[in-house]
Amino acid sequence: MNSWRSNIFAWAELTPKHPVADFDLFVIGGGSGGVACARRAASHGARVALVEESRMGGTCVHRGCIPKKFLVYASHFKHDFEDAAGYGWSVGESRFDWPNMVAAKNTELVRLEGIYRRLLKDSGVTVIDGRGALLDSNSVAIGGEQYSADTILIATGGWPALPDLPGIELAITSNEAFDLPQLPKRIVIIGGGYIACEFACIFNGLGAETLQLYRSDMILRGFDMDVREICCDEMRKYGVDVHLNSNPVKIEKTAVGIALTTSQGDVLEADQVMFATGRAPNTAAIGLQKAGVEVDQKGAVTVDSGSQSNVANIYAVGDCTDRVNLTPVAIHEGRCLAETLYNNNPQTPDHRNIPTAVFTQPEIGTVGMSEEDARAQCAAVDIYKARFRPLKHTLTGRDETVFMKLVVDHADDRVLGCHMIGTAAGELSQLLGVAIKAGATKAQFDETVAVHPTSAEEFVTMYTPTTA
């Protein structure tokens, strides 16, 4: 017996021990998705570290949603001053101060980053400044330091993509647009998605002569066609010069600015050229190959419905997966993952019926299916539309349109999609998203008493279908 015990102890001493990892979860990326997952995981008792190479808060806080919305607000005042006269106000000569706006914006972003850092610290997350890269499936290198983790989360977001074009070095992206030394007098914006349309309206509203160039026959691909066409018309009314079916060919420096040549042979003179032609997953040089993590042709981390990569202990959320590239979606994915891994509460991110807004002038709010998608998936649909001048502009005289649309499944009366162009459309899309998520029927919309006088009341008073 004593000999047996001695042998067991000797074997135990000689057998390699599995070291305890430094952390349960290591997050690479301090944007919305990474921070959300890190904080939620730490609240459930996990040992969590997060590394960020730039400013905490990621694209949304510093190069996207927040500073862009500040500029959207600023761009509205020009039109508000003009409209005030219709209500008896006398407004003197106005002047926009771009450097002052940029300085105020930057002050707020510094404050917000401090909040992000404090929230992470208060949650018990170890925050590391630097660039994190995988050494293998369980190890992260930061500078000269190395950390181990049972689970690793990739949350590195996306980055503006630029085409291979002569003179492309003369152009900017949305990253640089927020901190230009001065407001350009003339700007050409290339692209037809969210970012291009929003910045076209921003610069136009701030007083720049704005031309938007898009390769296809209509802006905002993927949105309901009525919404796309009406938005384009409204942007043109406000002063954005939208050129469709046109591509940039080359960019050249001139004595007075920049010249952009198009595929139609036009030469467009400007002070600034901005490309908003898509974003790519920000996954280069972070060691994914070393860890055996699969990516697609765009560099997006390939994940399943639970955000798990092909490597069992490596996950990814947010824009680096190229699923639905929106800040709230990244947050949702991150929280679902933390609940699944650290709270014994399995959750799968739901990417259906996501409400969204485009902050053009006027803005877009939408949730659910477009008419085109509904007709492709349903045997029959009923379409309800309303189009009118908003009450506010009966006195201002401004030629602006409010448009609303409901897409309804004829078979069961479920409302499949809600679409709006007009003031507060984004705010309304949030509430309409609840109705769509709950499976509301057109009859329930009709039974809801209207709030009068509002634009929103049209959503519950469109009793007769326009098309079926």
Cα–Cα distance between 206 and 74 in angstroms, integer? Answer: 7
Residue 160: count of CB within 10 angstroms of its CB: 21
Dihedral angle of Cα 427, 242, 326, 305, to the nearest 10 degrees: 120
Cα–Cα distance between 264 and 247 in angstroms, integer? Answer: 8
Of the residues 18, 62, 351, 452, which is catalytic? 452
Residue showing tokens 């560099």: 299
Residue 183: count of CB within 10 angstroms of its CB: 18
Q: Look at residues 230, 140, 205 and name the one whose alpha carbon lies nearest to residue 419.
A: 230
Cα–Cα distance between 84 and 391 in angstroms, integer? Answer: 14
Amino acid at 317: V
Q: Give yes or no for a contact between 451 and 393, defined as CB atoms under 8 angstroms apart.
A: no
Cα–Cα distance between 161 and 139 in angstroms, integer? Answer: 29
Exposed e or buried b per residue across 197-209, where buried means at least 16 C-beta atoms within 10 angstroms of its C-beta: bbbbbbbbbbbbb
Q: Residue 337: what are its φ and ψ, rounded to 5°?
A: -65, -45
Residue showing tokens 């004829």: 410
Cα–Cα distance between 451 and 453 in angstroms, integer? Answer: 6
452 assigned to active site: yes
**Torsional sign, CA 9, 13, 14, 16:** positive
Say which DSSP state 193 is in. Answer: S
Q: Give yes or no for a contact between 29 and 327, defined as CB atoms under 8 angstroms apart.
A: no
* DSSP string for 361-386: SS-EEEEE--HHHHHHHSS-EEEEEE
**Torsional sign, CA 9, 15, 19, 24:** negative
Active-site annotation, residues = 452
